[in-house]
Structures are given as C-alpha cells and as structure tokens.
C-alpha cells in the first residue's frame, strides 16, 4: 500500500474537495469545501491531502500550539493537535486512518513536540474513537465543545 501526504495547494484542493465520508458519518465532520475554506483562513493549521496509490483518499489538518497567534487552552502544551482527519468512504477500512494517525505522531516528533492530542465526537454513532484508542491515545478527562479529548505522548 503506497500512502503519501502532500501539503494542500490550489491544484490538490481541487482533487480532494469532492472526497466524502460515508452518509452515516456526515454529521461527524464538516464537508471538505467548508474544511478547506476554514483552513485557508486559519494560519495556524498545516493541511495535507492523503493519497493512496496516487489517488486522493483523505485529508488531515494539524496545528502546532507553539505557533498560534493567540494562546488557547483548548490545546495540550507541547502536543501537536489533529484539527481534522477524514478518509473518503471508498478508502475506509484499508488502514489509511492508522497511517494518518502515525503521520501525525511522526510529524510531532519531527518538530520536537511530546505527542499528539485531538478531540472526537464520542457520543455519536460511527465516530473515530476506536481508531484513536487502537493507536495508543487515551482520554484526558476533558470535554471540549461536547467532544472527548484524547492524547498520545511519546515515551
């Protein structure tokens, strides 16, 4: 399985804007059009398209809390924040979500952060909490905007 992560630019945005989660997951995440628009105006996020064997398969947005213009206690200190992660419905179940989570972990280590944090809608059916738990994340005990916060720290 060939997985690659490419920083989103105008050309790549055109390729990934039509990706979509399954209809049973629509309520869990913004559309890619909304996501890419928000990311365009969010100077704090680093946004990547995920490709599987050369085909667009998903998106991941990361935030390094050290470079935020305004400090925010929403973010764990010294932990990269996964702002958004989506895998297109046609590519789910192929291990791409695991690869994306590992990409975030590796990126955090590369830039000198202690780990990764994120929030997910754990009370909604079809949520990604099992994916994150299987990848070593643990609940922090905090809820942010009605989502559970999970954290992974490098040993």
Domains of the chain and CATH, by start: 3-153 (3.40.630.30)
Listed as ranges, residues in the chain with pLDDT below 70 are: 25-28, 30, 32-33, 35, 37-41
Helix (H) or strand (E) run with residue 12 in it: helix 10-16
Cα–Cα distance measured from residue 128 to residue 136, given in angstroms and rounded to the nearest whole number: 13
pLDDT of amino acid 10 = 81
Q: Is 92 helix (H, G, I), strand (E, B) or coil?
A: coil
- pTM, entire model: 0.88
**Tokens for 25?**
């997951």
Distance CA 87, CA 35 (A): 13
pLDDT at residue number 88: 92
């Amino acid at each position: 399985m060939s997985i690659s992560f490419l920083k989103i630019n105008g050309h790549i945005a055109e390729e990934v804007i039509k990706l979509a989660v399954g209809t049973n997951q629509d309520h869990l995440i913004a559309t890619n059009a909304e996501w890419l628009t928000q990311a365009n105006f969010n100077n704090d996020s680093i946004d990547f398209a995920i490709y599987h064997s050369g085909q667009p398969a998903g998106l991941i947005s990361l935030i390094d809390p050290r470079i935020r213009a305004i400090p925010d206690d929403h973010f764990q200190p010294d932990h990269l924040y996964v702002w958004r992660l989506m895998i297109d419905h046609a590519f789910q179940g192929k291990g791409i979500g695991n690869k994306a989570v590992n990409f975030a972990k590796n990126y955090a280590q590369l830039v000198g952060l202690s780990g990764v944090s994120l929030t997910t809608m754990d009370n909604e059916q079809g949520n990604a909490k099992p994916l994150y738990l299987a990848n070593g994340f643990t609940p922090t005990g905090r809820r942010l905007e009605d989502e559970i916060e999970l954290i992974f720290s490098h040993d």
